[in-house]
Structure 1
Amino acid sequence: MSTRTRRLTTAQALIAFLARQYTERDGQRHRLIGATWGIFGHGNVAGIGQALLESAADMPYLQGRNEQAMVHAAVGYARQCGRLSAHAVTTSIGPGATNLVTGAALATVNHLPVLLLPGDIFATRPADPVLQQLEVPYAGDVSVNDCLRPVSKYFDRITRPEALIPAALNAMRVLSDPAETGAVTLALPQDVQAEAYDWPEEFFADRAWHVRRPQPDEEELEAARRAIRQAVRPLIIAGGGVHHSGAETALRAFAARTGIPVASTQAGKGSLPYDHPADVGGIGHTGTATADELARTADLVIGIGTRYSDFTTASGTLFANPGVRFLNINITGFDAHKLAAMPLVADAREALEHLLGYLDGGPDHDYRVPSQYEAGYREAKARWEARVDAAYAAENDEVRPTQTQVLGALDALVTDEDIVINAAGSLPGDLHKLWRARSPRQYHVEYGFSCMGYEIPAAIGVGLAAPGRPVWALVGDGTYLMNPTEIVTAVQENIPVKVVILQNHGYASIGGLSESVGAERFGTAYRFRAADGMYTGDPLPVDLAANAASLGMRVIRAKTVRDLREALAEARAADRPTCVYVETEMPDTVSGAPAAQAWWDVPVAETATRPSAVLAREEYDRQAAARRRHL
C-alpha cells in the first residue's frame, strides 16, 4: 500500500472523494454524486464552499434558494436516475441545517438517496455559545443537526479530520444500498471543515459501489410457486420497488404469461403501461373500481416492492376475502413480512425472472388464471376507461375547465417521453385514478411523504437527470405558495420545466376531506373573513401568474378549455421555463374524478354538537367495523 499523502482541508478532501465515487449495476457504471447543491453561510462558506470553488471542474455546483427545496430537487434527480446516481446538499449551520429535515424525511420515507452536508457548531469550542448554537444543559455535544438523526439512514458528526475516512465510506455504502438507502447526513463542524490533514492517496482512488441484486431463497421461492399454482383469483400489487429494480420488463412478461392482473401503488404506477391488458390501474383509497374490487375478492395478493401503506390497504379494509393470503416480494425483510405474508426476500427483477423460469419449465409447471377471471377484469377495465373518458371530456370549450379536464387536456398532448410530477393536494388522487401512464418513468407522484412544495424543485432535479424530456410540475395554489422559490433556479439554469398552476382558491383536497369528516371545510379556503368571522368571503385577489412571472418564468394564462389546450401545447414546445396558469371550476360545484372506491381512516370526533360531525362519526364507525388484521 502506498504511503503517499495529500494535504487538504477536510472539506477539500470530502469533495475530492465524492467526485470519484461510482455505482455499478448490471455492468453499467454511474457517477454516484452527480452534483452538489448549496446555500452558503458562515457554517460552510469557508469550508465546503471554498472546496467546491477549487473543485469546480470535478464537482458541479448548483445554486439553490431554499434548503428544503434543494433536497427535493436532489430527490427528484435520484428517483429519475433509478437511485444509481444522487446529489449532495450543503447548508450552513442553524436554520439552514434545520430546513433540511423535511426533505430528509421525504427521501428516507421514499427510500431515495441524498447526501446532506450541513455545517455544525465548532468542535473545538472556542466560544460557548456561538452564533446559532442550541444550548442543551444536559449534553454539550448536541446541536440542531441532531434533529436529522431520526430522518437519516446514516448520521455522523465529523469532529476530527481523520474521522471523515470511515464516515465517508459508510455514507457511500448506505447511499448505494438498495435496501437501506435514504437520506445520509454528515454533519461538518465549521472549524473541522477548514482544518488541514495529510490524507492517504488511496482515499481518492476511483471506487465503484456494486448495487447488488439479492437472489431469492430456494425454500421461499418454492413456497411462492405453490401459492401461485393454487390461486384462482390472484392480484399483483406493483410498488415502487418494481421501478427501483428496473423490473418492468420482467413484470410485463410475468403478467402476460400468467394473466394475473396488476394494480399499482402511487410509487408503482407505470410498472405496466396503462394499455397493457393486465394493467387495472391504481389500488386502494385513490384506486380504480376495477383494482379495488379485485382486491376485495382476491385469494392471493402478490405485493412486489410495496410498503402496504394505509392508502394501499384502505386502512386495513380492502382485502376482504376470508381466505386471502399474501406473498410479498421485497428486497427488505421488514416489508416482505408485512400482513403476515409469505416472504420472498429478493430483488424484484430476479424474483420475477425465477418465477417466470419455473412457469416455462414444462407442462407440470404450467399456470394461468381461469379464463372467466381474466375476461371479467378486462371488461371491468374497459368500463373504468369509459369513466376516465367522461372525467376528461369537456362538452363546452369556452368555459373554465375542471381539474380533471386539465388532466384530460394534458393526457391528450403527452407522449411516453413526458414526465408528470405531483405530490400533494387533490391531484394525487385524481392522477392515481385517471392518469394513463405510458412509460415506466412518466408518472412521478411523491406520495410516501406527500410533501407540499415538492413539485417545482423535483421537476428541476428530474430535468437535470433527463435532459430533453418534457417535465411537467402540476401544482395547486396551496402547494405553489408553499415553495415557489426554485423557479429562480430553473430560470438561472434554463431548465425548461413546465409548471401548471391550478388556482382553486384553497386547500381543495383537505376541504373535501374536512367536509366528509364533519369539519365543514373549516380553515381550508383562501378567502376573506365574512361577517361571522369565518373564511367564507370573496376569494383573495392573489395573482399567482404574476408571481411566477416576477420570478422569471414565461407565463401563459388559460381562461377556457380551448385556451388551456393551446397553452399546454405552447408550453410543451417551449425551450425555457414556462408556466400555464388556469383557474379551475370550483370543486364544490362541479364534479370531477369518480369518488373514492375504498375507505381511508381519518378519525372523526367521537362526541360533537354539530350535526355534520355526528353523521360523519356514524359513517366512520360503519367503515371501521370492516377493518381486519391479517394474521
Structure 2
Amino acid sequence: MTTESSRTQTVRLTVSQAIVRFLSQQYTLRDGVEHRVVEGFFGIFGHGNVAGIGQALLQAELDDPATMPYYLARNEQGAVHAAAGFAKQRNRLSTLAVTTSVGPGATNMITGAALATVNRIPVLLFPADTFATRAPDPVLQQLERNESQDVTVNDAFRPVSAFFDRVWRAEQLPLSLLNAMRVLTDPAQTGAVTIALPEDVQAEAHDWPVEFFAKRVWTVARTRADRDALQSAASIIAAAKRPFIIAGGGVQYSEANAVLAELSERWGIPVGQTHAGKGTLPDGHPMDVGGVGSTGTIAADELASTADLVIGIGTRYSDFTTSSKALFQRDDVRFLNLNVAGLDAIKLAGHAVTGDARESLTELGELLGAHTTDEAYRAEIAERRAAWEATRSAAIAAEAPGDLPAQIGLLSILNEELADEDVIVNAAGSAPGDLHRLWQPRSAKQYHVEYGFSTMGYEIAGALGVKMAAPERQVVALVGDGSYLMLSQEIVTAVAEHIKLVIVLIDNQGFASIGNLSESVGSQRFGTKYRYRNVDTSRLDGGVLPVDLAANIRSLGANVIEADGLDEFRAAVRAALEAEETTAVYVRSDPAAPGVDGGWWWDVPVAEVSDIESTAAAREQYEIDRVAQRPHL
C-alpha cells in the first residue's frame, strides 16, 4: 500500500519486508557491468526469524520467485560458507545473505563470519536477536548477564565482522543497510557484514520513503595508486637484480591475471602464488614457479629466499606465505607491496602502493617500459622450473596402482581429469599443502582453496556456493574424513536444489595433516587417529572404528562410487563427472605415505621442556629452525 505524506511518498512494510525489497534493488558496477549485490538468501527458520525475514521472503517468492530466491540450508555455518564460496567465485561482485534464528542459530554463523572476514570475502548476515521491547524477558535462548542488559550473544559477531550493527528501531534500518552495502562493495574493507535483528523489530510495520527502494548502483572502484608511489615503485623494480613476485587473491579479484602474465614475462620476474592467488598464471607460463611459502614448491621458495626484492601483489602475507618470516633470507631484501588495502600494503615494512591491482600494474608497466632482468636470471628461473617439474613427476610416478594410494596420486588424477574450467574446492588438512605444490591450474578459477582460516567443513558447503555462482562448471569438493564428519549436511541442500556436485571423500581414518604435524613436533600423532578406546590401556589406540562414510553419504541423498586404488579412482572420477546428479567418490588412502619435497619452515612452537624423547628432539630442531626468522622492520 502506498500513501502520500506531507513530504514524500511512503509505503508501509515490516522491517523484514523492507530489507528484502531494498536488497532486491542493490547492484554493483565495475568495468561497465552491473551485478546484483545480493542474489538470494540462505536460511534456517526458528522463532526468531520465521515471522520476520521468513514471512518477507515468502511474500517476495509469491510475488516473483526471482525477486529474492530462498535456499533452505541444513547448517548455519555451512550456509555462510556457501555464501563465501559464491562471492569468491564471483570475484566479490555479488554475494548471498544468510538469515538465522536467535541464539544458537545465530552463533552457529560465527565461524563462517570469521572465515569471510579473514579472507576479505563479502557475506551479508542477519542473525535474529532478542526482543527490543524486553517485554518477554528472558526469552528462549537469551543470554542473561549480571552487568549489562544490552549485550546478547550476537555481540560475539563484532570482532569477526567487517561491519556490525543492531537495529533496535525501524528508523535505524536505512542507515544500517546503506552502510552494509558500503562495506560489502568496498574491496579494501569487505568481509562479513552482520546486522542483528531483534525478533519483534523484524515484524514491526513502518512507513518507508518510496525512494529508499529505488535502484541503487554501487561502484566497485578501481582505485588508482598515487603517482609518486608508483614512480618510486618503478625505480625500486628497475634497481633490483633478483626480484620475485608474490601473487595473492587481490590479483584474482581485480581480474589482473592477464596484465600480470604479460608484465612478468616482459620483465623476467618469477611469480610465486599464495593459495588465494594460485591460478593467476596458467600452468606452463614461463614465469610461473608455483605455490610459495610453507606449502610452496622448491623452485618458488629457493627463488624467494634469494630475492633482493619481493613484490607482493594483492597478498596479506600470511605466515604460510612468508614461512613465518623465515623465507626471505637476504639481509638486503626489500619489499614492494601493491594492495588495495592499506593494512596489507605496509606489511613487512614494504614500500606501499595502495590501489587496484590491475590498474596499478598497468601503470607500472608503462613507467618501466622495456625493463627486464638479465639473461642469467631468466635462465636460472627456467632451470628451477624444470627441476621442480622433474621432482613433481617423479613423486607422482612412484605411486603404484595396486597399493593403498597416497594423496598425491589421487590429486594428480583429479588434476588430469578435470577440464580447464572445472573447479576444485578444498580447505583444511593435508590436501591444501599437496594441492598448493602439485596442482597445475589451467584457468584462473580452477583452484579454490580456503586457507586463510583453514576451516574444516568448508569444502562441501563452499562447493555448493561455487556451483550456484557458476552452474556451467563442474565443481569438485575434495574433503577428508575428518572435515567431512564436521560439516557435510549441505549435501542435502544440493540434492534438494538439483545442484550437481562431485564430492571426493578421502578416508584417512583420522586427521592426516595434524597427525603429520604432531609427529614433527614430537607428539607422536596423539589424538589424531579415529580409533576405539583400548580397554587395556585406556588410550585411543584400539581398533579402527566401523564408520561407513560411503553409506552416510548415500543416506543424505547422493550417489556414491567406491574406489579401491588409483585405477578404480580414475574410473570413478570420470563416472562422477559424467553423472547428472550429485555423486561422491569414496576412496581410502595411506595418511602416512610420503608426499613430494617442497615447502619451507612453519613456526609451530614445541614444548620447551618434556620427559618425552621425541618432544625433546623436536624442540632441539625447532631452536635451530627459528634462527632463520627475520623481523623485516
TM-score between the two structures when normalised by the length of structure 1: 0.97
Q: Following superposition of structure 1 onto structure 2, how do residues 551-630 of structure 1 map, counting pairs within 5 Å?
A: 551-584=556-589, 586-588=590-592, 590-594=593-597, 596-630=598-632
Indicate if the aligned counterparts of 2:22 and 2:212 stay in contact, CA closer than 8 A: yes
1:386 aligns with 2:385: no
SS in 2 for 1:412: helix
1:487 aligns with 2:483: no
Distance 1:593 1:54 in 2: 55
SS in 1 for 2:51: helix
1:181 aligns with 2:190: yes
- Structure 1 residue 436: Cα displacement: 0.5
The one of 537, 541, 544 equivalent to 1:532 is: 537
The one of 464, 473, 476 equivalent to 2:477 is: 473
- Indicate the residue corresponding to 2:552 in structure 1: 547
- Structure 1 residue 397: Cα displacement: 2.8
After superposition, the C-alpha distances for 1:217-272 in whole angstroms (9 at most, x for unaligned) are 11111110110110100000000110111110110111121010000011110010
Question: Which consecutive aligned stretches of 4+ in structure 1 deviate over 4 angstroms post-superposition?
Answer: none
Indicate if the aligned counterparts of 2:459 and 2:477 stay in contact, CA closer than 8 A: yes
Distance 1:124 1:192 in 2: 9
Give the aligned residue type for 1:486.
Answer: E
1:219 aligns with 2:228: yes
Indicate if the aligned counterparts of 1:421 and 1:473 stay in contact, CA closer than 8 A: yes
- Structure 1 residue 400: Cα displacement: 2.7
Q: Following superposition of structure 1 onto structure 2, how do residues 37-48 of structure 1 map, counting pairs within 5 Å?
A: 37-48=42-53
Distance 2:477 2:42 in 1: 20
The one of 390, 402, 413 equivalent to 1:409 is: 413
Does 523-532 or 608-617 show the bigger shift? 523-532
Give the aligned residue type for 1:454.
Answer: Y
Q: Following superposition of structure 1 onto structure 2, how do residues 201-600 of structure 1 map, counting pairs within 5 Å?
A: 201-360=210-369, 366-393=370-397, 396-530=400-534, 531-584=536-589, 586-588=590-592, 590-594=593-597, 596-600=598-602
Give the aligned residue type for 2:627.
Answer: A
Does 538-547 or 500-509 show the bigger shift? 538-547
Indicate if the aligned counterparts of 1:119 and 1:187 stay in contact, CA closer than 8 A: yes
- Structure 1 residue 153: Cα displacement: 0.8
- Structure 1 residue 2: Cα displacement: 6.8
Q: Following superposition of structure 1 onto structure 2, how do residues 76-91 of structure 1 map, counting pairs within 5 Å?
A: 76-91=85-100
Distance 1:301 1:136 in 2: 50
Indicate if the aligned counterparts of 1:399 and 1:559 stay in contact, CA closer than 8 A: no
Distance 2:392 2:628 in 1: 28
- Structure 1 residue 138: Cα displacement: 1.4
Distance 1:534 1:188 in 2: 47
Distance 2:55 2:184 in 1: 25
Indicate if the aligned counterparts of 1:420 and 1:472 stay in contact, CA closer than 8 A: yes
Distance 1:216 1:35 in 2: 34
1:31 aligns with 2:16: no
Give the aligned residue type for 1:86.
Answer: T
- Indicate the residue corresponding to 1:51 in structure 2: 56
Distance 1:79 1:524 in 2: 31
Distance 2:499 2:171 in 1: 39
Indicate if the aligned counterparts of 1:2 and 1:202 stay in contact, CA closer than 8 A: no
Indicate if the aligned counterparts of 1:421 and 1:455 stay in contact, CA closer than 8 A: yes
- Structure 1 residue 383: Cα displacement: 1.3
Give the aligned residue type for 2:284.
Answer: D
Indicate if the aligned counterparts of 2:231 and 2:367 stay in contact, CA closer than 8 A: no
Give the aligned residue type for 2:381.
Answer: Y
SS in 1 for 2:52: helix
Indicate if the aligned counterparts of 2:475 and 2:502 stay in contact, CA closer than 8 A: yes
Indicate if the aligned counterparts of 2:399 and 2:409 stay in contact, CA closer than 8 A: no
- Structure 1 residue 375: Cα displacement: 0.9
After superposition, the C-alpha distances for 1:549-587 in whole angstroms (9 at most, x for unaligned) are 010000000012111110000111111100000011x23
- Structure 1 residue 395: Cα displacement: 5.5
Gaps in structure 1 of 5+ consecutive residues = 361-365
- Structure 1 residue 533: Cα displacement: 2.5
SS in 2 for 1:625: helix
Aligned residues: 623
Does 395-404 or 435-444 show the bigger shift? 395-404
C-alpha spacing 1:253/1:2, structure 2 compared with 1 (3 Å)? farther
Does 299-308 or 522-531 show the bigger shift? 522-531
Distance 2:308 2:472 in 1: 44
SS in 2 for 1:55: helix
Distance 1:49 1:150 in 2: 27
- Structure 1 residue 358: Cα displacement: 1.8
Q: Between the two proteins, what is the percent identity of the paired residues?
A: 57
Give the aligned residue type for 2:50.
Answer: V
Indicate if the aligned counterparts of 2:252 and 2:277 stay in contact, CA closer than 8 A: yes
- Indicate the residue corresponding to 2:3 in structure 1: none
After superposition, the C-alpha distances for 1:405-442 in whole angstroms (9 at most, x for unaligned) are 10111111112111000000000000001100111111
- Structure 1 residue 283: Cα displacement: 0.5
Indicate if the aligned counterparts of 2:399 and 2:405 stay in contact, CA closer than 8 A: no
Indicate if the aligned counterparts of 1:392 and 1:409 stay in contact, CA closer than 8 A: no
Distance 1:597 1:283 in 2: 7
SS in 2 for 1:117: strand
| Pairwise CA RMSD | 1.1
Indicate if the aligned counterparts of 2:292 and 2:599 stay in contact, CA closer than 8 A: no
After superposition, the C-alpha distances for 1:484-509 in whole angstroms (9 at most, x for unaligned) are 11110011011111000000100000
C-alpha spacing 1:395/1:296, structure 2 compared with 1 (3 Å)? closer
Distance 2:250 2:331 in 1: 28
- Structure 1 residue 151: Cα displacement: 0.6
Indicate if the aligned counterparts of 1:282 and 1:291 stay in contact, CA closer than 8 A: yes
Indicate if the aligned counterparts of 1:298 and 1:324 stay in contact, CA closer than 8 A: yes
Give the aligned residue type for 2:621.
Answer: E
- Indicate the residue corresponding to 1:363 in structure 2: none
Does 419-428 or 535-544 show the bigger shift? 535-544
Distance 1:475 1:168 in 2: 36
SS in 2 for 1:46: coil
Give the aligned residue type for 1:599.
Answer: W
The one of 89, 110, 120 equivalent to 1:101 is: 110
Does 27-36 or 130-139 show the bigger shift? 130-139
- Structure 1 residue 597: Cα displacement: 2.7
Distance 1:613 1:241 in 2: 40
Distance 1:421 1:455 in 2: 6
Indicate if the aligned counterparts of 1:263 and 1:281 stay in contact, CA closer than 8 A: yes
Distance 2:484 2:14 in 1: 40
TM-score between the two structures when normalised by the length of structure 2: 0.97
Distance 1:208 1:621 in 2: 55
The one of 5, 14, 18 equivalent to 1:9 is: 14
Distance 2:561 2:244 in 1: 44
SS in 2 for 1:526: coil
Gaps in structure 2 of 5+ consecutive residues = 1-5
The one of 158, 169, 173 equivalent to 2:178 is: 169
Indicate if the aligned counterparts of 1:273 and 1:437 stay in contact, CA closer than 8 A: yes
SS in 2 for 1:249: helix
